[in-house]
Amino acid sequence: MSKLVAQLNGDGLDLLNFEWEVAILHALSQRGLIEYEKDLGGPRRADVSFTLANSTEIDFVADVTGVSDRGLEKENPAEIFATLLRQSAAKLKIDGSFSYRIEGGPEGKKYKDRKVKLALPSAPQIPDLFKKHILPFLRTIKSNAAESATLHINDGPNRISIGHNPSGTYTSGSHPSYKTAYSLTRNPIFTSLKEKAGQLRETKFDGCRGIILCDANCALFKNNLQGGSNFSDRQIIEAFLRNNTSISFVLTLWVSHSAGSFGHPEPLKTNVKLIRNPRAKVPLSDEIAGVLLGIPQLLPTPVNDAFNASHLIQNGTHRTGASLLGGYQMSSTQTTEIIKISSRAILDLLAGRMSPEKFSELHSFTNSPANNGMLNPFESASRKSLLIDAVSIERMTDQDDDWLVFKLSGPDAAVAPFTAPNYK
């Protein structure tokens, strides 16, 4: 277990895999006995061995793996291109908006066994593309700021168009979808299944074996539609199982939310899909199938989907949960003020991690009524000669922060001016 803890405290997008692994171990532990990386006699160990409470033998072993589009993104560095375009335009202080189109198309000799490849160079070569074509174009825009401009690049395998609108506001871009599966085998899901099936064979466990695929930012988990030329995740998994008798089941898990009423999104939820192998040497029992399908009900409500979680990791902001920073609530009378504010924000302020100026900026506070913004409520209370009467914590059990509640009462004689009594 110390190995898993060290992995969770590491960095990199593999963190998503380890978080899924812990979540699944937690869920299964509520339905039976789990053993992590148990020695089953082979040179490799399965991630989890599961035994029902009423069983005397292991009911199944499984490997848990996250599936992502990182390999496809490395082959098609469209995001790197878009980021460098924005950065280059910002460095030259070019106003207006850009639009770009990256061409591309399917590669492969056989129909329904192809992958889309964008007409871009590899990631290490993109700076050279900018130096040769795009930076001269941007400098021309800079010297003719009032005019629209267009660049067409048709240089070997590179086919890109860029337009600039001096009066535009938003930058947009498009390219063929390279994350759509046009092949049953040349896609991230099939690659992961093939790898894990080989590893499970090396455990030497001859009972029920399964593979649990988790969304680590893979488009195939969210796009379940199939067309005349592309394949869904289910089709890919079923094609894999048709040629494999050692794997009894494949379970997929992903996080999503749907639009609620009046445009408000519903809370995130964990989804599950179970594909059983009718050709398996050891079939999956109905009882174990029920355990697997019940995993989402045994997990907490997720706070991010894979797309947003991966961006938090890339930005280095994944170590701390979301806070109430910037939010506050208040109510007041002439003699009392109640102020609720993020307990983590107050801790950062007192610890010196946040300056008073930054604290005021994040809350849109001002100490002068003449300035735009909300008069600092503590300043407002001070002007009414109110002092802190009580401080309490309002727990937010479903969030990673709590409200610190200040009650200020007065006027208090310690800070209030002398006043004449009113006998009327």
Residue 368 reports pLDDT greater than 60? yes
Residue scoring higher pLDDT (84 or 5): 84
pLDDT given at position 260: 60
In sequence order, the 6+-apart residues with CB closer than 8 A to the CB of 18 are 4, 7, 8, 10
Q: pLDDT over 90 for what percent of the chain?
A: 68
The residue whose two tokens read 């199939």 is 226
Arithmetic mean of pLDDT, 111-123: 87
- How many Å is the maximal CA-CA distance in the chain? 99
CB atoms within 10 A of CB 110: 7
pLDDT given at position 113: 73
**CA distances, 234 to each of 231, 237, 273, 307 (Å):** 8, 5, 9, 21
**Phi and psi for 179 in degrees, rounded to 5?**
-95, -5
Arithmetic mean of pLDDT, 91-117: 87
| DSSP secondary structure string for all residues of 61-121 | EEEEEEE-SHHHHHHS-HHHHHHHHHHHHHHTT--SEEEEEE-EEEE-SSTTEEEEEES--
- Helix H or strand E encompassing 380: helix 377-383
Residue 370 reports pLDDT greater than 60? no
| DSSP secondary structure string for all residues of 391-409 | EEEE--TTSS--EEEEEEE
| pLDDT tens figures, 179-199 | 999 999 999 999 999 999 999
pLDDT given at position 94: 93
CA distance 326 to 341: 8
In sequence order, the 6+-apart residues with CB closer than 8 A to the CB of 312 are 304, 318
Tokens of 342: 């993020």
| pLDDT tens figures, 234-268 | 999 999 999 999 999 999 999 997 666 565 667 89
Residue 4 reports pLDDT greater than 80? no
DSSP, res 40: -
Residue 321 reports pLDDT greater than 90? no
Say if CB 272 and CB 210 are below 8 A apart.
Answer: no
Q: Regarding beta strands 249-256 and 209-215, do their DSSP bridges make them parallel or antiparallel, or are they unpaired?
A: parallel
pLDDT given at position 420: 83
Mean pLDDT of the chain: 90
Least confident of 6-20, 50-64, 78-92, 135-149: 6-20
pLDDT given at position 254: 96
CA distance 66 to 215: 6
**CA distances, 175 to each of 99, 101, 148 (Å):** 11, 6, 22
pLDDT given at position 285: 96
Arithmetic mean of pLDDT, 276-301: 96
Rounded to 10 degrees, the C-alpha dihedral 322/325/329/332 comes to 160
Residue 129 reports pLDDT greater than 60? yes
| DSSP secondary structure string for all residues of 246-311 | S--EEEEEEEE--B-GGGPBPPPEEEEEEEE-TT-SSPPPHHHHHHHHTGGGGSPPPS--HHHHHH
CA distance 256 to 236: 21
Rounded to 10 degrees, the C-alpha dihedral 27/28/32/37 comes to -130
Residue 371 reports pLDDT greater than 60? no
Q: Which of 44-48, 110-114, 313-317, 375-379 has the highest mean pLDDT?
A: 44-48
